[in-house]
Structure 1
Amino acid sequence: MIMDEILNKKVLLVDDERELLTLLKEVFIKEGFRQIYEVDNGIDAILSVKEKNPDIIILDVNLPDIDGYKVCDRIRKFSTSPIIFLTAMGEDEEKIKGLEAGGDDYVTKPFNIKEVVLRVKSQLRRGSLVSEIKTNIYTFGKISINEETGEVKKGEENISLTAKEYSLILFLAKNINRVFSKSSLCEEVWGYEYDRYDNTIMVHIRHLREKLEDKPSDPKHIKTLKGIGYKLVD
C-alpha cells in the first residue's frame, strides 16, 4: 500500500541537460512513477513548485539562469517538499552549501540513475510512514509537534521545517532524554549507513536550533554531548 502511494507521488526534475532530463524521466516511468514533471531552468522550477506542488524535487546546481542553491532558497519560502541536489562538484563545502540552502540530500555527477531513484523512494517512503502514524502531540519547552497534522509550533507561532528537519526533531521528540550517536541518527532519519554524513547532521541540528531554541548558541533542549552525539531534553 505504501509503495503504491509512493509511486503516485509527484516528482519534479530540474536540469538544463535535456538528454539527462529525458533519461531520468524514462527511468522513473519504468520504475512505476506516474506523475513526472520536468523543467530546464530555475525560474520555471520555482513556478512549477508553486503550480504543481510536487512531493519531491530533483534539482541541478548548475542552471542557466539562477543557480540551484538560490532556487532552493526561494522554494523553501513556501514549500517543505524534499529536495535532492544534483551536483558536479564533490567537495564537502559544496554539499554543505546545498544543505544550508534547505536541501535534504545530494548526488554527485556522474551518478548511477538507479541511485537517484532509490534516494527518491527513500525520502518518499519516510514521508509516507510519518503521515500514516496518527498518534500524539509531543511537547518540550514551548515547542509542540502534532504528528497527525505535521504542525510544529513554538507557543502559538507556526514553525516551518523542511521534511528532513521535521523527521529529525520528531524522532528525537519520540525518544526524549535518550542519547543518539550521529551514526544512529543517520540510519534512523536518513536511512543510510553513517559515511561522511557528519556535516549533514550538524547542519540540520543547527537549523533546528535556529528555528526552535530561544538562544540557538546556548540551546536548552537540543543538546550536544561532545564525542557521543545528541539528545533532546525537556
Structure 2
Amino acid sequence: MPARILVAEDDRKQAEVIRRYLEREGHEATVVHDGRAALDHARRRPPDLLLLDVMLPGLDGLAVCRALRAERDVPIVMLTARAGEDDLVLGLALGADDYLTKPYRPRELLARVAAVLRRAARVTGAEPARYRVGDLVVDVARHEVRAGGRPVGTTPAEFAILACLAAAPGRAFTRQLLLERVGGFDRDVTGRTIDTHVVNLRRKVEPVPTRPRYLLTVYGVGYKLAETAGEGDGGAP
C-alpha cells in the first residue's frame, strides 16, 4: 500500500536516491536534512513511516526517536553508518522498529520499509480481537494495551510481539517465529532484537519487571504469554 514516508538524511545525495526509490514504489516521500526539521515535520504531519539517520546535525536520530516515542507510535527505521551492536540495542530500546546499517542496497531498504508497514497495518486494527490475562489486556482492534487498569504505550514492534503472544496464551514462540510473525528485523541479530523488545515490554506491563507474571521466558526456546497471571518464570531473557 502507498504510504507517506518522511526521510531524515543529512547526506543529500543519499536522500535523493532514497526518495526516488520510494516514489517509484508509489510512496509519497518528504526529505529533511536535520534532526530538528525531522521532529517538527513529524509533529506537524505525522508520517506513516520515518526513515531516520542516526548521525543528523542539530538533534541526532536517537534524540529524535526518543522525543517522538514519547508522543506517538509512528513506525521508525533507523539508518546508520555505525555497525556496533550497542548502537543497535540503544536504537531498539528507544523504540525503533528496525535498524539498517550503511551501506545498504536500495532493494533491501524497500523490503524493510514494506515489512514495517505491513506490521504496522496488522497491529492497528485488522483483526477485531481482545485478549486478557489477569490485569493485562491487549486490544488488537483498538491497538491498546492496559496493565492493571492503566494504559500502556507501545511501539508497533512491541505491540506486534505482544499481540502475537496474546493470541495463543501458554504457547511457546521461538525468537525466529516471533520475527517471522512481526517481520522486518535483521536476521543477523535475531535473538538480541526480540530480547530487547521483551525487556522493554516487561518494563511497561509487569508489576516487577525482573519477576514477570505475564511475559515468560521458555528457556532454550523463546517466550510465551502466561495463561493465568502469576505463572512467573524468573525473568531472564
User: TM over 0.5, yes or no?
Assistant: yes
1:56 aligns with 2:69: no
Q: What displacement does 1:194 show?
A: 4.4
1:92 aligns with 2:85: yes
Q: What is the correspondence of 1:65-214 to structure 2 with a 5 Å cutoff? A: 65-131=58-124, 133-191=126-184, 194-214=187-207
Mapped partners of 2:187, 2:11: distance in 1: 32
Give the aligned residue type for 1:11. Answer: I
Q: What displacement does 1:85 show?
A: 0.7
Mapped partners of 2:181, 2:51: distance in 1: 22
Q: Show the counterpart of 2:10.
A: 16
Q: Deviations over 1:112-167 (max 9, x none)?
A: 11111111111111222334533221111211122111111123321110000000
Task: Tell me which moved more, 173-182 or 139-148.
Answer: 139-148
Q: What displacement does 1:90 show?
A: 1.2
Give the aligned residue type for 2:127. Answer: K
Unpaired stretches in structure 1, ≥5 consecutive residues: 1-5
Q: What displacement does 1:40 show?
A: 0.6
Contact 2:69 2:95 in 1 (8 A): yes
Q: Deviations over 1:5-31 (max 9, x none)?
A: x21x21010011111111111111111
Mapped partners of 1:132, 1:99: distance in 2: 23
Give the aligned residue type for 2:202. Answer: R
Give the aligned residue type for 1:13. Answer: V
Query: What's the secondary structure of 2:22's corresponding residue?
Result: helix
Mapped partners of 1:98, 1:128: distance in 2: 22
Q: Show the counterpart of 1:3.
A: none
Query: What's the secondary structure of 2:141's corresponding residue?
Result: coil
Q: What displacement does 1:193 show?
A: 8.0
Query: What's the secondary structure of 1:183's corresponding residue?
Result: helix
Mapped partners of 2:213, 2:34: distance in 1: 42
Give the aligned residue type for 2:220. Answer: G
Mapped partners of 2:193, 2:60: distance in 1: 21
Mapped partners of 1:197, 1:134: distance in 2: 26
Query: What's the secondary structure of 1:195's corresponding residue?
Result: helix
Task: Tell me which moved more, 11-20 or 179-188.
Answer: 179-188
Q: Show the counterpart of 2:21.
A: 27
Mapped partners of 1:86, 1:64: distance in 2: 14
Q: What displacement does 1:227 show?
A: 1.5
Contact 1:177 1:232 in 2 (8 A): yes
Contact 1:187 1:194 in 2 (8 A): no
Mapped partners of 1:36, 1:153: distance in 2: 34
Mapped partners of 1:179, 1:191: distance in 2: 21
Query: What's the secondary structure of 2:59's corresponding residue?
Result: coil
Unpaired stretches in structure 2, ≥5 consecutive residues: 229-237
